[in-house]
Structure 1
Amino acid sequence: MNIIAKNEAIDTHNQPKTAREVIAENVQLLIEQLEAGHSEALTDYLNAMSRFHHYSLGNILEIARQRPDATRVAGFWTWKNLGRSVKKGEKGIRILAPIIGVRKKKDEEGSRDITKQNSAVLCGFRSTYVFDVSQTDGVDLPSMREISGDPGENSARLAAFVCSRGITLVYSPNIAPALGMSYGGRIAILPGQSKAEEFSTLVHETAHELLHKAERRTATTKTVRETEAEAVAFVVGKAIGLVTGTASADYISLYHGNASLLAESLEVIQKTAAVILAALEPTIEEKNDAAATDELAEVAA
C-alpha cells in the first residue's frame, strides 16, 4: 500500500459514523442486553415489588379517596420486611381484607379424593390498614437504573418536532406514577423528572404517536408497542450521548419483551429513530450562530 492509499484508508476509518450506522449499533447493543437477561437492578426491583399486594377495584378506590397522592401502599409488616417503618403518628388507609375459612366435606366425600377433603371459602371481610411509602422511613426501595446526561438543545428541538406534527404536548402531575402518556394526538409528561429522563420519556411517547395509531395500534399487542417505543428511546438517547445503562432493557423486560420480539420490529424501530434523529439536527440558523460564536472565541483568544 502506497502512502496516499494508506492515508485514504486512515481518513475513511476516521470518518464520522452515519445515522444509519449509529442506529444499527445501538439496536444491536439493546438486543445484546436483552439476551443477557435481567440485570441485577431489575431482579432486586422485581423481588421488592412481589411483596406488594394487588388490590381489588374497591380497595383501589378507597385508597384514592382517603389518600389521593398515594403511589405505593403496603401493610405495616410488609414495610418492615422491606426495611422501612411507618412514621409515628401516621394514620393508616382503611381497606377491606377477605376472611378465608375452611369448609370440611363429609367423610364419604373426602374418602373418594383425599386432596379435596377441605376447601377454602370466603367467609366475609374485615377492616385492615395500609400505609403509603410517603408515610414510612427507612432504606430506599430498589429501583431500576435511571438515564443520565444532558440532552442540551435536543429537548427543545424534540418538543418543536412534536408540535410540528400537530401533537399537543402538556406537563401534568395527574399522570403519576406514569412518567409519560400518549393519547393519540396528545402527549402528557410528568413534571419533575431529570432532563435526561424527561427527554427519554418524550422520545418514548413520540414513538408511540408515530408508530401506534389507527390500524397498527389494534394489530399489535401492548408488549410489542412498549418494546418498539422504548427501543426507539434507547437508540435516540444513546445517539445524543445520554448514559442509558440497562434502563431500556429492564423496561422492555417488565413488559415481557425480548430480543426476538425486538428483532421482528427492527425495521420500524430503525425508521422511527431515524426520523426523530433527523428532527434533532441543528437548523441552518443554529449552525451559523455556532460558527459565529466560534469565530468570536478565536478572535478573543
Structure 2
Amino acid sequence: MTGHSLSEAQREAADRARRETVEELHRQLTEHVGSLDNRAEWERYLAFARSFHQYSFGNRLLIMLQAPDATAVAGYRAWQARGYQVRRGEKAIRVLGPVTKRAPILDPAGNPVLDADGKPRETRQLVGVKPVPVFDISQTDGPPPPQHPDPVLLTGQAPPGLWDALATLVADRGFRLERGDCQGANGLTLYSERVVRVRADVDDAQAVKSLAHEVGHVLMHPDGADRGCRGLEEVEAESVAYMVTQAHGLDSGQYTFRYITGWATQAAADPEQVVRATGQRVIEAADLILAHTQPDAIRPAEDALDAFEANIDRTITTGWESTSTTAISGVTHDRKRHLRALDRGLVVGR
C-alpha cells in the first residue's frame, strides 16, 4: 500500500471513485437479483413447494418418525393430479386426517340461518380424526421436480492481499479468525467466543468471499442479537461480500444471487425489494471495508465493473420479481469519518 503517496486531492478523488464503484455495484446487484431468468426458476420451485398440503406440527412429527428422509408428501390422488404415480407395493406413511360432518349454521338464538333461497345454511364440523395414507415423492414415478436453486461454491484464487486485509478488520473488531468446521456453512461468526471461522476445505476464492460475508456481519450486526429476521441480516452480509469481492475483481455473482434469493424467500419478502431496502447500510459497510482494502485506489474495481457488465447478458439461473421502483440514494462520503469510526469500533450505518 502507498498510504502516504497521494495528495489530499488525490485521496478525495479515490474516495469519490470508490463510493461511485460501490453504489454502481449495488445497483447491478439489485437488477440481477430481480432478473427474469432468476425469477422464473424460483417461481417454478416455489409453485411446486407451495402446492403441497401444510401439515400440522403433529403430522410433521409422524412423517419424520416414519420417513425421516421425506421431502414432499401427498396423498395417492394428489400425486396423480400432479402427474406422478405411486409405485405398486410402496408402504404408505400414516398421518391423521379430519373426520367431519355437516351441521346447520345457527344464529345467536339457536335458529337455523337460511340462504337466499330459504334453505338452511350448513358448515363442516370436526368430530374426530382418522389415519390417512400419504406418500413421499421418492415413492412415485414422474417428471423430475424443480430443484432448489442452491449456490455453487467459487473456485480458483483469491484477489491478492484481500484475505489479509479482511483479517486485519476482523482483528480490529476484537474477533479471532480461524479456519475449520462451520457446522455445514461456509463461514460463521461466534459472537460469544468472538470468533470468525471460515471453512477450510474450499478454494481461496470461496474462502475470501465467505470471510467478506462474515466481516459484513461483524460490522452491521456486531452483537449477534436476534432481531427477528435472520434472512434480512443474511441478505445484508452477502450483499457486502458481493460488492467487496467484485470491487477486487472476483466475480461472485452466481453464488450471491442464489444465496440472497433463498434467504429473502424464507423471509417471505420480495428479494429485489429487500436488497433495495438494505441498500444504504450495505453501501456504508462495503465502502468502509474498501477504504481499508483499497485506501489509495483512484479507480477501484473499474476493470471488475467492465468485466461484470460484459456478462450482464449471460443467462443467470437465479432471481426474483421486483415490486419496488425506489432508487437507492447516495450519501456524501467522508473518508476520515469512516476511518475514525473503524478505529473506534463504531457500528456502520446504525
Same fold (TM over 0.5): yes
TM-aligned CA deviation for residue 138 of structure 1: 2.9
**Structure 1 residue corresponding to 2:252, chosen from 242, 249, 269:** 242
Aligned to 2:62: 62
Structure 2 CA distance for partners of 1:242 and 1:52, relative to 1, 3 Å: same
Are 2:182 and 2:188, in contact at CA under 8 Å, matched by a contact in 1? no
SS in 1 for 2:134: strand
Aligned to 2:282: 269
CA distance in 1 between partners of 2:186 and 2:219 (Å) = 18
Q: What TM-score, normalized to structure 1?
A: 0.61
Which deviates more from structure 2 when the two are superposed, residues 93-102 or residues 192-201? 192-201
* Aligned amino acid, residue 29 of structure 1: Q
**Structure 1 residue corresponding to 2:156, chosen from 149, 152, 155:** 152
TM-aligned CA deviation for residue 19 of structure 1: 6.2
CA distance in 1 between partners of 2:198 and 2:74 (Å) = 27
* Aligned amino acid, residue 276 of structure 2: A
**Structure 1 residue corresponding to 2:144, chosen from 137, 140, 150:** 140
Confirm or deny that 1:228 pairs with 2:227.
no
Structure 2 CA distance for partners of 1:142 and 1:188, relative to 1, 3 Å: farther
SS in 2 for 1:244: helix
Confirm or deny that 1:51 pairs with 2:55.
no
Alignment of 1:166-177 (within 5 A): 166=176, 170-172=181-183
TM-aligned CA deviation for residue 82 of structure 1: 3.6
Are 2:155 and 2:203, in contact at CA under 8 Å, matched by a contact in 1? no
- Per-residue CA shift, 1:88-145, capped at 9, x if unaligned? 4432222111223321246943138879821222121111223333333432222354
CA distance in 2 between partners of 1:115 and 1:163 (Å) = 73
Q: How many residues align?
A: 260
SS in 2 for 1:70: coil
* Aligned amino acid, residue 262 of structure 1: V
**Structure 1 residue corresponding to 2:220, chosen from 211, 214, 231:** 211
Structure 2 CA distance for partners of 1:204 and 1:215, relative to 1, 3 Å: closer
CA distance in 1 between partners of 2:61 and 2:203 (Å) = 31
Are 1:149 and 1:243, in contact at CA under 8 Å, matched by a contact in 2? no
The structure in which a higher percent of residues are helix is 1
Are 2:157 and 2:203, in contact at CA under 8 Å, matched by a contact in 1? no
SS in 2 for 1:111: coil
Aligned to 1:26: 25
- Per-residue CA shift, 1:216-264, capped at 9, x if unaligned? 643x644533432443354456562235185356335512045454334
Aligned to 1:7: none
* Aligned amino acid, residue 247 of structure 1: R
CA distance in 2 between partners of 1:277 and 1:258 (Å) = 25
- Per-residue CA shift, 1:25-83, capped at 9, x if unaligned? 33112322456677111221221112112111111111222222333333333333444
TM-aligned CA deviation for residue 208 of structure 1: 4.6
Structure 2 CA distance for partners of 1:117 and 1:32, relative to 1, 3 Å: same
Aligned to 2:113: 110
Which deviates more from structure 2 when the two are superposed, residues 38-47 or residues 225-234? 225-234
Confirm or deny that 1:99 pairs with 2:99.
yes
Percent sequence identity over matched residues? 26
Structure 2 CA distance for partners of 1:262 and 1:118, relative to 1, 3 Å: same
Structure 2 CA distance for partners of 1:213 and 1:83, relative to 1, 3 Å: farther
SS in 2 for 1:109: coil
SS in 1 for 2:112: helix
Q: Highest relative contact order (Cα 8 Å, sep 6+), 1 or 2?
A: 2
Structure 2 CA distance for partners of 1:188 and 1:30, relative to 1, 3 Å: same
CA distance in 1 between partners of 2:187 and 2:152 (Å) = 17
When the two chains are superposed, the root-mean-square deviation of aligned CA atoms in Å is 4.9
Aligned to 2:333: none
* Aligned amino acid, residue 282 of structure 2: I
